Structure 1
Amino acid sequence: MKREKIIRVIVVFMFFALAVISSPAYAAGLLTPKDSGLPVLDIKDHNVKVVMEDGYAITTVDQSFFNPHGKDLEAVYSFPVPDKAAVSEFTMWIDGKPINGEVLEKKKAREVYEDQKSKNKNTGITEKNEYKTFEISVYPVKAGQETKIRLSYIQPVQVDTSMGRYVYQLEEGGVDEEALAFWTTNEKVSGTFSFDLVVRSGYPVASIRLPNHPSAQITQKGEDWFVHLDNTLNEVQSSTGQDTALTINNQQDADAAAQPVAAIDTAFRLNTDIVVYYKHAENLPGAVDMVAYKEESAKRGTFMMTVTPGMDLQPLAGGRDWVFILDISGSMQGKYATLAEGVSRALNQLNPNDRFRIV
């Protein structure tokens, strides 16, 4: 395919030192006109799907924004990505056509973006700043039309003492005061909001709870657990008199919800983090799990190993015993240096009272 026929979204990741504590949140995704003094564009829809499986959580966010202005805009889409997460997809829809992201080297990506924009072609560029916020320059945001954006990211699941935790960040917070002063936040969704999460754990899950959203729908089908939130009950209280936790965040909201015919502002507010806890069943045995990945054209791959001790395992007070088994067969010729480097790094992480053997 010729280059001039390709409509691109360029995705480039700029990794900085991770000395920053946390990232500022912009209601989990804003589209702001660039260098124009115009306010952030209205969030029409905000839908989230999360799949937790094999030690990873894959989050996919679909949002649509409306440009009410009489001209096409260049805008910046900003989204707070969790620490240790990696963006796996960025797609935007213009004139109903999906435009997928392409990972390029930083300098090359900027050159292609500026070239495509100068030719009035649809383009975007994603950069990660030091506060773990991804900023995507998008052009054009069509006048009087909706722009749909999809962002997916993958992150390791946090599990400690049989308790797993997932957070979809919506609240404002962080240490970048300059960025907070520059960006105008928008916590309202005028259309639909939904949050769907599925837990596919290799270990039995005993329970799931959402402390900030007690009325979330939680169901179990076989070994899988499902969580659902939406804003369909945004305007009224339930018939049982129980407040709808999705929308009632203070007494003022509660008073408004009690008056179903006097809904002044029906927009759903994105101002409370969605925190999901799940607990494994008790007395599970210890286990070792590994997930491997290698591209077809790659010579080397990567893997993630998760070691889960049993709950009855007593603390080790007298040091640990380690055995390093090295393959020095003919097929490993030329790789001995890599083996030695790996063992050396591991030995540097041992405690003074640990013991080891190399076989």
Structure 2
Amino acid sequence: MNRISARFFSLLSLCLALGMFVTGSSQAAGLLTPNDGITPALKIKQHHVDVVIEDGYAITKVEQVFSNPHANDLEAIYSFPVPEKGTVAEFTVWIDGKPVTGEVLQKQQARQIYETEKQAGRDAGLTEKDSYKTFDISVSPVRAGQDLRIRFVYLQPAHVDTGIGRYLYPLEEGRVDEQKNAFWSGNDVVEEQFSFNVDIRSGYPLDAVRMPHQSQAIITQHSAGEWNISLGMKGGATEATLMDNEEAERKAALIPTTAVAAYSLDKDLVVYWRHQEGLPGVVDLVTHKPDANSRGTFMLTVTPGDDLQKITEGRDWVFVLDISGSMKGKYATLAAGVQRALQRLNPQDRFRIVLFNNRANELTRGFENATLENINHYINALVNVKPGGGTNLYAGIKHGIK
């Protein structure tokens, strides 16, 4: 595989060069549309999705094959969504049968190189995040009468709440901008092959996995914490099929290896899993360090045990607020959120309010009882705070937890 130096450039434009977190609604997944706005969207011949959910992360790999039936080479725009808190890890396009992998560059530099390569008649591509939280990739050329293969990979934190996990593969249109939707409304039907495969590897035992509204999905349990969901057939009923390993192997032998044709990419695919009841809490720690001389990162996932007793006594709350200059224009919304939270406290609760910019200070005098008088007093005090200065997040957190 070629690591691109001057052929293909993937732009993820944030201050960090290692990835971009995006949020918001999305367009239908994986559409390749000629950028002249006149030529119809290219046909989707294949669409394959492989997901691994493990150690608090979901890694999604998408591969698509498009067909250009037109007589001319085209410059096209490939648009795909990334879910909330997702970050793109890889983008590869096959041009003339050769894989070319994206490289992260500064936005202006990437744009200049893309234009230079395109004008020179060489293969080029450019990835940019648009204001609607999708990624747009300009690909040139898309060869006349040939197929174009695209693969991208993104990561996202696994969503688990009160023992229920949920993974969503976005396919529905976001309906964010009517003009853009009109441009992108095109072919969302897979002509030949579609497959969707999810591997769940949980350190916490699971007692159920389901995929609603997909009757042809095959759900297989390998162990207490390892499950697989496979979909490659046209669905019609409302429930998936649950099997053990032996039964899954028997049924797999009866299923064609190629997926059923004409699968419409117009509905989100959702997978749920449920932790077993009555188990103690679990702490999962995932670390990463590129090399011995670099600073590492970690992700800590805490799964509380469901054997904890319901809290009946009063609770202590600490609100840590950023009042630096960067919060001008945003502080009113932040203060309104704290106001709503204070108004929902129980009478036996207590609260503190910590403010920070260059340094941290406490608006309250230690823990205050959540009486109506105290709540109204500090709501008024918050309204009168004026943002300004720098940002010392560490000081704010340290003061808040002391």
State how far apart, in whole Å, the 1-side matches of 2:293 and 2:123 are. Answer: 32
Bigger mean CA deviation after superposition, 46-55 or 217-226: 217-226
Q: CA deviation at 1:61?
A: 0.4
Equivalent residue number for residue 33 of structure 2: 32
Equivalent residue number for residue 259 of structure 1: none
1:90 aligns with 2:141: no
Which letter maps to 2:98?
A: K
Q: Is the 8 A contact 1:21 1:175 kept in 2?
A: no
Equivalent residue number for residue 103 of structure 2: 102
Q: CA deviation at 1:174?
A: 3.6
TM-score by length of 1: 0.77
State how far apart, in whole Å, the 2-side matches of 1:95 and 1:282 are. Answer: 53
Equivalent residue number for residue 309 of structure 1: 304
Which letter maps to 2:11?
A: V
Q: CA deviation at 1:181?
A: 2.2
State how far apart, in whole Å, the 1-side matches of 2:46 and 2:226 are. Answer: 27
Q: How does 1:125-204 map to 2 (within 5 A)?
A: 125-204=126-205
Q: Is the 8 A contact 2:76 2:142 kept in 1?
A: yes
State how far apart, in whole Å, the 2-side matches of 1:342 and 1:310 are. Answer: 31
Deviations 1:21-53 (A, max 9, x none): 732322x10000012510110000000000001
Q: Is the 8 A contact 2:199 2:226 kept in 1?
A: yes
Residues 245 and 286 of structure 1: CA distance in aligned 2, closer, same or farther (over 3 Å): closer
Q: CA deviation at 1:266?
A: 5.2
1:113 aligns with 2:110: no
Q: Is the 8 A contact 1:72 1:143 kept in 2?
A: yes
Q: Is the 8 A contact 2:195 2:230 kept in 1?
A: yes
State how far apart, in whole Å, the 2-side matches of 1:80 and 1:298 are. Answer: 35
Residues 12 and 169 of structure 1: CA distance in aligned 2, closer, same or farther (over 3 Å): same
State how far apart, in whole Å, the 1-side matches of 2:237 and 2:315 are. Answer: 53
Aligned residues: 301
Deviations 1:48-89 (A, max 9, x none): 000001100000000000011111111000001111100000
Equivalent residue number for residue 346 of structure 1: 397
Which letter maps to 2:65?
A: S
State how far apart, in whole Å, the 2-side matches of 1:71 and 1:297 are. Answer: 51
Bigger mean CA deviation after superposition, 44-53 or 282-291: 282-291
Q: CA deviation at 1:177?
A: 2.3
State how far apart, in whole Å, the 1-side matches of 2:38 and 2:292 are. Answer: 47
Q: CA deviation at 1:305?
A: 1.1
1:229 aligns with 2:280: no
1:12 aligns with 2:11: yes
Which letter maps to 1:185?
A: G
Q: Is the 8 A contact 1:209 1:276 kept in 2?
A: yes
Q: Is the 8 A contact 1:74 1:141 kept in 2?
A: yes
Runs of at least 5 residues in structure 2 that lack an aligned partner in the other structure: 240-259, 319-358, 360-391
Residues 266 and 228 of structure 1: CA distance in aligned 2, closer, same or farther (over 3 Å): closer
State how far apart, in whole Å, the 2-side matches of 1:89 and 1:54 are. Answer: 20
Which letter maps to 1:269?
A: S
Which letter maps to 1:12?
A: L
TM-score by length of 2: 0.69
Deviations 1:122-173 (A, max 9, x none): 1111111122201000011000000000011000011000000000111222
Residues 215 and 36 of structure 1: CA distance in aligned 2, closer, same or farther (over 3 Å): closer
Which letter maps to 1:268?
A: Y
Which letter maps to 1:32?
A: T
Q: CA deviation at 1:285?
A: 1.0
State how far apart, in whole Å, the 2-side matches of 1:7 and 1:14 are. Answer: 18
State how far apart, in whole Å, the 2-side matches of 1:214 and 1:306 are. Answer: 33
State how far apart, in whole Å, the 2-side matches of 1:194 and 1:345 are. Answer: 48
**Higher RCO (C-alpha under 8 Å, 6+ residues apart):** 1
The SS at the match of 1:14 is coil
The SS at the match of 2:267 is coil
State how far apart, in whole Å, the 1-side matches of 2:55 and 2:23 are. Answer: 27
Q: Is the 8 A contact 1:68 1:143 kept in 2?
A: yes
Bigger mean CA deviation after superposition, 108-117 or 309-318: 309-318
Equivalent residue number for residue 253 of structure 1: none
Q: Is the 8 A contact 2:31 2:41 kept in 1?
A: yes
Bigger mean CA deviation after superposition, 96-105 or 310-319: 310-319
1:270 aligns with 2:277: no
State how far apart, in whole Å, the 2-side matches of 1:214 and 1:206 are. Answer: 20
Q: CA deviation at 1:215?
A: 3.2
Q: Is the 8 A contact 2:23 2:83 kept in 1?
A: no
Residues 181 and 61 of structure 1: CA distance in aligned 2, closer, same or farther (over 3 Å): same
Equivalent residue number for residue 326 of structure 1: none
Residues 163 and 194 of structure 1: CA distance in aligned 2, closer, same or farther (over 3 Å): same
Which letter maps to 1:188?
A: V
The SS at the match of 1:190 is strand
Q: Is the 8 A contact 1:8 1:100 kept in 2?
A: no
Q: Is the 8 A contact 2:33 2:78 kept in 1?
A: yes
Equivalent residue number for residue 25 of structure 2: 23
Q: CA deviation at 1:292?
A: 1.3
Residues 282 and 245 of structure 1: CA distance in aligned 2, closer, same or farther (over 3 Å): closer
State how far apart, in whole Å, the 2-side matches of 1:300 and 1:148 are. Answer: 36
Equivalent residue number for residue 68 of structure 1: 69
